[in-house]
Amino acid sequence: MKHVREYANHAEYLRHQCEKTTDPVVIERFIPKRASRIQSFSLRFEFLKEFCPPPAYVLCLGARYGEEVAGFRTLGYEAIGVDLVPYPDLVIEADFHALPFADGTVDLIYSNAVDHVFDMPAFAAEICRVLRPGGWVYVHLFFRDKDFGLYEVMRLADDAEFAASLPGFHVAKRVEANGQVWLLLHREEVLA
């Protein structure tokens, strides 16, 4: 893992990351496409019913405006998102490095914000803490050598590096296209 942006401390990271959701340029890019983004997420998530059927409880990390949450709900899942800036009825305010959920209460975790993680060990520990034994993690990973945006924080060498951050998980499905990887990981039923 390589950091592509450095912060003096966690507070500076939080301040900067909050800007991505409140930036008028970002809002202009995302909100008009909301309906098509929700539909796209629903289509991408459809296959998950085979592994973790609704009405499983889904937590979306770094959910911004909640399109992925709405996509899961369309499919019959109970879903909520977390981000540093809340979005009504879909996303609560929380830092994904310190989740406000009880241990073992989530069936499935989704994130397409791994490249925004400040502290990978803390992020992975929180996933492990809130996910139940036998639960699932579905991540959308980006691998770019350049052209990072204003808010990306780190870059993984490959998807195996992310999988290795979650002990007791195995890869159940992997899809790769255009320098992006979608990775579904399954947690062992019995934790050591």
Nearest to 159 by CA among 146, 150, 172: 172
Place of tokens 């540093």: 84
Instruction: Report the topology of domain 2-187.
Output: Rossmann fold (3.40.50)
Task: List the chain domain ranges.
Answer: 2-187
70: which DSSP letter? H
Q: Per-residue confidence of the chain (192 residues) as pLDDT tens digits? A: 666 678 888 888 888 888 877 777 777 777 778 899 999 999 999 999 999 999 999 999 999 899 999 999 999 999 999 999 999 999 999 999 999 999 999 999 999 988 888 899 999 999 999 999 999 999 998 765 555 566 666 777 678 888 999 999 999 999 887 778 899 999 988 755
Residues 101-114, buried b or exposed e (16+ Cβ, 10 A)? beeeebbbbbbbbb
